[in-house]
Amino acid sequence: MLPTFDPRDTEAGSRILEDITSNAGHIQEQVLEEILTKNASTDYLKSFLNGHSDKGLFKNKVPVVDYEDIKIYIDRIALDGEPSRILTNESITELLISSGTSGGKQKWIPKTAEEGERRAFFFCLLATVQNRYLHGLNDGKALFFVLINPDIHTPGGLVLRTSTASEIKNRKDRYPEVIMCEDTNQSLYSQLLCGLVQRDAIVSIGTFFASGLQRIIKFFEEHWQEMSSNIRTGQMSDWITDPKCKRTVSLILSKQMPDLADSIDLVCQEKSWEGIIKKIWPRTKYVQAIITGSMAQYIPALEFYTGRLPVVSPAYVSSEACIGINFKPLCNPYDVSYTLIPNMAYYEFIPIGNHEDPNCTNSKDAHLKDHIVDLANVKIGQHYELLITTCTGLYRYRMGDILLVTGFHNITPQFKFVQRRNVVLSIDTDKTTEQDLQNAVTIAMHILEPLGFFLLDYSSYADTSSIPGHYVLFWELQLRPNDDTPELDQVKMEKCCSLVEQSLDQEYKLLRNQSNTIGPLEVRVVKQGSFNVLMDFYVSQGTSLNQYKTPKNIKSEKAIEILDSRVVGKFYSREVPNQVS
Ligand code: AMP
């Protein structure tokens, strides 16, 4: 049973947080017991536990799985209409579309009414932390951008939607009508317009992932003149036809506001959009967006656009479960750790050796189970891959996320989100992970940063169309004052390519250096807005803008074509990487 409290009652919420983080081990045992007792009779668990609900047996017999291993059960429920009880004795009410890997493949994750309650509890705890540390949030309004996609119905009769759409559609009364609009452009336009008209009331701005905020700023760049003209005339643009948007905006845009339009024009006409958020919404105290893991690459861009406002990375949440809360929301973006919330799921951890390739922890490895530890036994400084077991039918399920334990709150572990388990680039025996690539790109950018450039976004693919194959990185660069086409210095760009190579691991250097199995690394600089076009492409394929994470390795030929057709410069490494460093 989850404790209940009013989310506005910060003291009660804080007491609960202290209590659950002081009893995390005990709570975890209870959670596992509840899951096993409830679900022992499901087809899935019966096949390993023969109807027993013993925790020791669970750890011995139930295998560690990936999505691919349980997909067959999910498909039976989603596509063939078989009952939920093949996986869980809670009744599956929806399937959540998870962006899953940043490689762009979707997963369908079961959701139940009880899981909805658990999520509601989690968000009350999150509100407690925010009320405690983010002062002044109640002195005005929050402008939080939310976009939802239309529902899809599976042949088995279930609704398929993102976790955000699920939360919003199940609690319609709590949200403004405008965010129910399922047309991305109309919704974003209307949300921005509402935010502009109420610009003096806004004290915080946010979205889910930092990449989304960057997209919103670009959208604003393309539409501010039209929005300002709407405000000046008190008339909304004709193309806003969605009734929900029309109703909401017409309430706010009830008269001509030429002074407001002038003041918006003045800010937006400035040559540089540095600090635009602070200038348009001058009372903003905080910006909310996840900036950890692969989102860390957007920190420089956010600092630029927000004018260095504090960026709060509130939580670690996924379609599978709500997992962790940042207890120090005002800390430096690079120091964010999340505290596990022990009532949400049963957690286990696969240790990852310091220099070990995370992909070596193969789920078919018979020894894997011997190394798994539970929450009470994790160690500070150790990397782990997270496994979760939930009431909703996931058992010892690999989240694919690698976490680094950084400390404890009472006895509950806190961790940094490090990376996804996936390898992004591979030629021959080289396996370059998302984290390897991100580190290498960050180091190489030190060459361009003094010239005023920052990296808006990047991606990559292994080009094996010629021999030897080589890695290609697509970079979208931005110059601090908003120039359209930054001037690229050939020598410096080539140095960047070499530095990326130099920062990759020994295996890469060996293959590049000694055996010439990998050719010189290439950076293709793409023109401004290219990654927005890429995002639009993935959104058109069914990805939700809220959950979108730029794929760090592109597999789709169409996506490669999109970036390739926007290349403004190609550069190759001219140096062979030194193997000693
Ligand atoms: P989705 O199910 O589409 O919402 O995606 C969930 C995935 O997003 C997680 O498994 C993580 O890989 C990533 N994610 C969620 N929260 C964070 C966070 N705070 N920092 C970094 N990555 C996150």
Same domain, 108 and 160: no
Residue-wise pLDDT for 426-470, tens only, equals: 887 788 888 889 889 999 999 998 888 989 999 999 998 888 899
Q: Are strands 141-144 and 202-209 parallel, antiparallel or unpaired?
A: parallel
pLDDT at 373 over 80: yes
Q: Which amino acid is at 302?
A: L
Same domain, 427 and 456: yes
Q: What is the CATH number of the domain that holds 483?
A: 3.30.300
pLDDT at 361 over 80: no
Same domain, 409 and 434: no
CA distances from 259 to 229, 232, 255, 256, 266 (A): 11, 8, 12, 9, 11
pLDDT at 566 over 50: yes
pLDDT band, residue 268 (cuts 50/70/90): very high
Q: Which of 380, 401, 420 is the last residue of a domain?
A: 420
pLDDT at 354 over 70: no
The per-residue pLDDT for 184 is 87
- Tell how far the Cα of 576 is from the centroid of ligand 1, in angstroms: 36
Q: Which two tokens stand for residue 424?
A: 């992004």
The per-residue pLDDT for 358 is 47
Give the mean pLDDT of the chain.
Answer: 91
Instruction: For residues 60-80, give the mean pLDDT.
Output: 95
The per-residue pLDDT for 419 is 77
Answer yes or no: is 295 within a domain: no
Q: Which amino acid is at 563?
A: L
The per-residue pLDDT for 366 is 57
The per-residue pLDDT for 102 is 42
Same domain, 510 and 415: no
Instruction: For residues 382-404, give the mean pLDDT.
Output: 95
Bridge partners (DSSP) of residue 312 are 288
DSSP of 449-485: GGGTEEEEEEEEEEE-SSSSBEEEEEEEEEESS--SS
Q: Which two tokens stand for residue 309?
A: 């406002």
Same domain, 222 and 235: yes
Q: Which of 263, 284, 305 is the last residue of a domain?
A: 284
- How many structural domains is the chain composed of? 3
Domain span at residue 462? 423-572
| Least confident residue range of 106-120, 299-313, 384-398, 509-523 | 509-523
- Tell how far the Cα of 187 is from the centroid of ligand 1, in angstroms: 24
Answer yes or no: is 300 within a domain: no
Answer yes or no: is 297 within a domain: no
Closest Cα to residue 401, out of 379, 389, 417, 377?
417
Answer yes or no: is 131 within a domain: no
Same domain, 430 and 548: yes
Q: What is the pTM of this model?
A: 0.85
The larger pLDDT score, comparing residue 494 to residue 454, is at 494
DSSP of 481-540: S--SS----HHHHHHHHHHHHHHS-HHHHHHHHTS--B---EEEEE-TTHHHHHHHHHHH
Q: Which atom of ligand 1 is nearest to the CA of 109?
A: 2
Q: Are strands 338-340 and 322-325 parallel, antiparallel or unpaired?
A: antiparallel
pLDDT at 377 over 60: yes
Answer yes or no: is 291 within a domain: no
Answer yes or no: is 122 within a domain: no
The per-residue pLDDT for 507 is 82
**Cβ contact 205:143 at 8 Å:** yes
316 CB under 6 A from ligand 1? yes
Same domain, 465 and 559: yes
Q: Which atom of ligand 1 is nearest to the CA of 208?
A: 16
Q: How far apart are CA 418 and CA 298, in angstroms?
A: 15
Q: Which of 417, 422, 545 gets mutated to test ligand 1 (max ligand atoms within 8 A of its CB)?
A: 417
Same domain, 259 and 399: no
**Cβ contact 528:486 at 8 Å:** no
Q: Which of 161, 299, 317 gets mutated to test ligand 1 (max ligand atoms within 8 A of its CB)?
A: 317
Same domain, 411 and 440: no
Helix (H, G, I), strand (E, B) or coil at 492: helix
Answer yes or no: is 556 within a domain: yes
> What contacts 478, CB < 8 A, 6 or more positions away?
301, 304, 453, 454, 455, 456, 486, 528
- Tell how far the Cα of 162 is from the centroid of ligand 1, in angstroms: 13
Same domain, 429 and 516: yes
pLDDT at 398 over 70: yes
Q: Which of 384, 399, 420 is the last residue of a domain?
A: 420
Same domain, 478 and 397: no
- Is the omega angle on the peptide bond into residue 468 within 30 degrees of 0, that is, cis? yes
Answer yes or no: is 302 within a domain: no
The per-residue pLDDT for 521 is 97
Residue-wise pLDDT for 123-172, tens only, equals: 999 999 999 999 998 899 999 999 888 899 999 999 999 898 999 998 88
Same domain, 404 and 531: no
Q: How far apart are CA 291 and CA 299, in angstroms?
A: 7
The per-residue pLDDT for 64 is 96
Q: Which residue has the tokens 């209940």?
A: 4
